[in-house]
């Protein structure tokens, strides 16, 4: 087991009847752990865990309870993911735009693997806050190493060779197959890029500005990148959740 510093917050409730954990939601916030706990306390929010840049793991809420981290959110038919998920916050002063510390990632991988194994969470349900709330949230940001984590058994990545196996070319249909809520297509497309094609996402040095300006409302996925979307949709379509 990962060594965990316990500092429980009272901001949680029971998971509704029948809501089993089947997703892992990854976040970042621009605070050190102790500051983040104070911010959560002020806002009456929580997450199950915080991982500081030095790799220290803090637990704020028991995994058996519903922590308050995701807010309004949708993914693969789930709505309001707090009830279905464990939430992990990473400390990142750049809001996930500068490389994450190796010690922090080591702790994240270890903790995530424990959670994924315990609840049998499907790879397609290891998600960014930005994936499940694409109009509202930019975290855990473009520097988050999704590909490396997928190689370590945390989440899902694509194989570009799969692109030609997908006949579908409609961006909204492909994004929906991955799991995105496509009611705002620009937001969903940009969230997809944050996760899979971060080079298309602008760096915003002003973290406070970024929090309120998550995506350009006129964003369209450039045509040359369509094969990456198709390869992802193929992979996410094949790796069906187990429940
Ligand atoms: Zn978040």
The model's pTM: 0.96
What average pLDDT does the segment 74-89 reach? 97
Domains in the chain (CATH in brackets) are 4-238 (3.40.80.10)
What average pLDDT does the segment 205-209 reach? 96
Residues around the ion ligand 1 (C-beta < 5 A): 27, 129, 139
- How does residue 239 score in pLDDT terms, banded at 50, 70 and 90? low
Helices (H), 92-206: 102-119, 129-132, 146-151, 171-178, 185-196
What average pLDDT does the segment 75-79 reach? 96
In the predicted structure, residue 1 carries a pLDDT above the cut 70 = no
Known catalytic membership, residue 89? yes
* pLDDT at position 240: 58
Percent of the chain with pLDDT over 70: 97
CA of 141 to the centre of ligand 1 (A): 10
**DSSP letter (8 states) at residue 182:** -
CA of 161 to the centre of ligand 1 (A): 32
* Torsions phi, psi for 24 (to 5 deg): -120, 120
121-138 pLDDT, tens per residue?
999 999 999 999 999 999
Of the listed 89, 98, 164, 168, which one is catalytic? 89
Structure tokens at 27: 């976040």
* Residue whose C-alpha is closest to residue 199's, from 181, 217, 221, 182: 221
* pLDDT at position 3: 76
Please report where in the chains the tokens 């316990």 appear, as a residue: 6
Cα distance between residue 43 and residue 178, in whole Å = 32
In the predicted structure, residue 243 carries a pLDDT above the cut 50 = no
CA of 194 to the centre of ligand 1 (A): 14
Give the other-Cβ count within 10 Å of 179's Cβ: 25
* Residue whose C-alpha is closest to residue 163's, from 235, 222, 241: 235
* pLDDT at position 137: 98
CA of 121 to the centre of ligand 1 (A): 19
* pLDDT at position 241: 53
């Amino acid at each position: 087991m990962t060594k965990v510093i316990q500092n429980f917050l009272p901001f949680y409730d029971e998971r509704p009847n029948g809501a089993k954990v089947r997703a892992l939601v990854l976040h970042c916030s621009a605070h050190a752990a102790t500051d983040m706990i104070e911010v959560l306390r002020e806002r009456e929010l929580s997450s199950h865990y915080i991982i500081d840049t030095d790799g220290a793991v803090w637990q704020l809420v028991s995994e058996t309870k519903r922590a308050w981290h995701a807010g309004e959110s949708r993914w693969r038919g789930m709505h309001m993911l707090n009830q279905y998920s464990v939430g992990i916050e990473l400390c990142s002063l750049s809001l996930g735009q500068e490389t994450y510390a190796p010690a922090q990632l080591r702790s994240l991988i270890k903790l995530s693997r424990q959670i994924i194994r315990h609840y049998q969470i499907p790879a397609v349900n290891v998600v960014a806050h930005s994936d499940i709330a694409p109009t509202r949230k930019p975290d855990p940001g473009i520097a988050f190493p999704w590909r490396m984590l997928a190689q370590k058994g945390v989440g899902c990545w694509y194989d570009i060779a799969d692109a030609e196996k997908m006949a579908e070319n409609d961006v909204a249909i492909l994004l929906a197959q991955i799991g995105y809520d496509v009611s705002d297509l620009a937001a969903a497309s940009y969230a997809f890029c944050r996760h899979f094609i971060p080079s298309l996402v602008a760096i915003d040095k002003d973290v406070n500005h970024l929090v309120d300006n998550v995506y350009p409302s006129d964003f369209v996925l450039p045509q040359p990148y369509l094969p990456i979307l198709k390869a992802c949709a193929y992979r996410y379509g094949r790796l069906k959740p187990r429940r």
